[in-house]
Amino acid sequence: VAIENEPQFVELIRSARNTQSLVVALFWADWHDPCKIVLPIFAQLAKENPSTIFVTVDAENVGDVTEQMPVEAVPTVLMFFDGKQVAKVDDPTPMAISSAIEQKNSRNFCRVSSLAQFSRQQTFGSHSIKPQCVLCAPGQQRS
């Protein structure tokens, strides 16, 4: 699914929360060669993980979403579960993304995240998405 605007992104996160689905969002740019390499790999991972929601966000064309996320460079993968950001994978490789997806069941996301601790709340219009970090032990959260 290609995210085209902020309301679509907010609704996706909300509906995924209701179904307890993991959302894997790839922030990318069409002019950046590493992003062009990651896109087909991302599509293959989506086929291999049908219970996970995979979305792409063109970092420049959907800047209102990108600017509110901790995306410093592209490609970057952010993962959301239960309405919260649970992981960030900079310079995503298939192994890093797959490992993060596999850790969904244990809720232990930070081992694959290069930025494990999040302190600010993401706000989209009147909706909030609270970042979450599970620091090396399932069930322990940092807010």
User: How sure is the predictor about 96, in pLDDT bands with cuts at 50, 70 and 90?
Assistant: confident
Asked if 59 contacts 66 with a C-beta cutoff of 8 angstroms, the reply is yes
More confident residue, 3 or 141: 3
- Is a pLDDT exceeding 60 seen at residue 93? yes
Nearest to 137 by CA among 99, 111, 102, 101: 111
φ/ψ of residue 39, rounded to 5: -55, -50
Retrieve residue 61's tokens: 């064309």
- Is a pLDDT exceeding 50 seen at residue 46? yes
More confident residue, 136 or 30: 30
pTM of the predicted structure, to 2 decimals: 0.75
Asked if 24 contacts 56 with a C-beta cutoff of 8 angstroms, the reply is no
Helix, strand and coil content of the chain, in percent to the nearest 5, comes to 30, 25, 40
CA separation, residue 9 to residues 6, 13, 43, 44, 107 (Å)? 5, 6, 18, 22, 22
More confident residue, 117 or 128: 128
Cis peptide before 131 (omega within 30 of 0): no
